[in-house]
A and B are shown apart, each in its own frame.
Chain A
């Protein structure tokens, strides 16, 4: 069977095809597995595919469909970032440390997809322990951007972004600590959402920086992100930071994201905050041009641009690179070669076993962040670095509180440049960190944020429009994006087939 129809297929289209019995879940899974087999050697988007397990789930889904139990994701393949533990699946987090780790249980997010009858299509490549912005620090080698295979995919959820961009999966999961869903979404021309902190359970999602980590979806459209969120979100008692809120339908505002919407002006009354700090030096001209054009499209839909200021935002990267490594140094102390994961083959005593295990099991970027975190938490430096960063974090969150008095959402670029060449950032970690400037503030404040495709920059590489909303405003943000996608077709653009 030809599988062209999979290119850019939406979740709704696939679900309709399954409901109409035009295709079975088993056929659908086989078609995607064939696509993965054909191009994964080039793109390196997946660490693990397991046709036997995927097809077993697909057969179960077909049985459900035959019984008339068809939910929006029943029988549909979903790729999962390898940070989510899944029972019976290798869950490596892109690290040699967990290369032999086969999940003994399911993450809450995996539970939810299983309950919905979705099929696990495979585990996607990522920066080691989600630390990175280019998906090059994986022990399994770098992910490549399907728009230009000598360019990076962004990170850390680069594999999931590329899976969706190259139509190797209709949708995927990711995690976002400082931009790890939104930045790769921007750099690959896909849609990605980081929900409000606490909306998606972190149970079974390998911890990097617990006060910032949040799972989120990748898809081809805002409407599909809403479908994904309806499955992923929800209270989970096993995550102490999971928020106990009534379930919501994330699709509810797609048609009318603002109360004052009219038929001709679906965004009439929407106030889009434009922060002057976001359009200064460091922003590439090709990216800015695409963002300005997107803002024009939004104003044509009735939205009004409002000048705002986020004065502390330039300090968000320094604060982030204190807080995230500090939490990481604590979280990653669990990898000691005792209960699971890698253990060095030779050692003299217990301390030597720890030191060699961690020296060999972790890659350079992970070690760098553990060492930074250990330093900023060490005696004599705690106040100067960690406590200071927490105070800056408060100021950043207060900036947003102030800004949302004057606007409903805030729009900016998702990244200051299009995807760089492979290897261009690896020698200079600081340069890589500074490129997180647009995405990090939302994590520090715990706000929902998304990136949607809005054009192309240099070398025909995608540009993403970053949208930050107020707490729990995901449905409205998705509605704004959906209206934008009703009058533009950037989200439907697909890279040429990779050989």
Chain B
């Protein structure tokens, strides 16, 4: 694999919604390349025909009865929200 360049680092940071300064991007590029270099060693292993393992236990998702099980606690949950008005979470205007 090609080492990451600054443009890729900025694109990943954008995808992850993390603001990154130019100085941070350079340090981050070097650290991520160090980590990816360590990860690369795994690629020498032959895994042909091996079924990917997503999970430690082969469990089937349970279905619960279609009954109301939770009570309305929006006041409790919204009491710790950054900005709430009239039981609505407030965010910056998205549509002009």
Q: Which residues of A are in contact with B by a Cβ distance under 8 Å?
A: 100-102, 104-105, 197-198, 211-212, 237, 240-241, 243-244, 312, 315, 317-319, 321-322, 329, 333, 336-343, 347-356, 358-359, 362, 367-368, 370-372, 374-376, 378, 384-385, 387-395, 397, 428-430, 433-434, 444-446
Contacts and interface: CB of A to CB of B under 8 A. Distances in A.
A315 B57 contact: no
Interface centre among B12, B53, B62 (most CB of A within 10 A): B53
A375 B31 CA distance: 13
Given A340-B80, A355-B14, A358-B18, 6 more contacts: A198-B56, A211-B55, A358-B19, A372-B35, A378-B15, A433-B35
A368 B4 contact: no
B64 to A, nearest CB: 7
Interface in B55-92: 55-57, 59, 61-62, 64, 73, 76-77, 79-83, 89, 91-92
Nearest to B14: A355
A359 B38 contact: no
15 contacts: A104-B77, A198-B56, A198-B57, A211-B56, A321-B39, A340-B82, A349-B93, A358-B16, A359-B19, A367-B18, A374-B15, A388-B43, A397-B53, A428-B34, A434-B38
Contact of B32 (A237, A356, A372, A388): A372
List of 10 A-B pairs having minimum Cβ-Cβ separation, nearest first: A446-B56, A390-B52, A318-B42, A391-B47, A343-B82, A359-B19, A394-B53, A197-B56, A355-B19, A354-B17
A445 B47 contact: no
B18 A429 contact: no
Contacts of A358: 16-19
B59 A392 contact: no
B73 to A, nearest CB: 7
A243 B79 contact: no
A343 B82 CA distance: 6
B59 A243 contact: yes
B34 A355 contact: no
B23 interface: no
Given A237-B64, A240-B61, A340-B80, A319 B42 contact: yes
A358 B13 CA distance: 10
B20 interface: yes
A111 B51 CA distance: 38
Contacts, number: 168
Nearest to B56: A446
Nearest to A389: B42
Contacts of A394: 50-53
A237 B61 CA distance: 11
A104 B76 contact: yes
Contacts of A318: 38-42
Nearest to A244: B62
Contacts of B51: 391, 394
B96 to A, nearest CB: 10
B42 A240 contact: no
A368 B36 CA distance: 12
Nearest to B59: A241
Contact of A371 (B12, B19, B80, B82): B12
A391 B50 contact: yes
Nearest to A87: B76
A193 to B, nearest CB: 16
Contacts of B18: 355, 358-359, 362, 367, 370-371
A445 B76 contact: no
A343 B64 CA distance: 35
Contacts of B4: 375
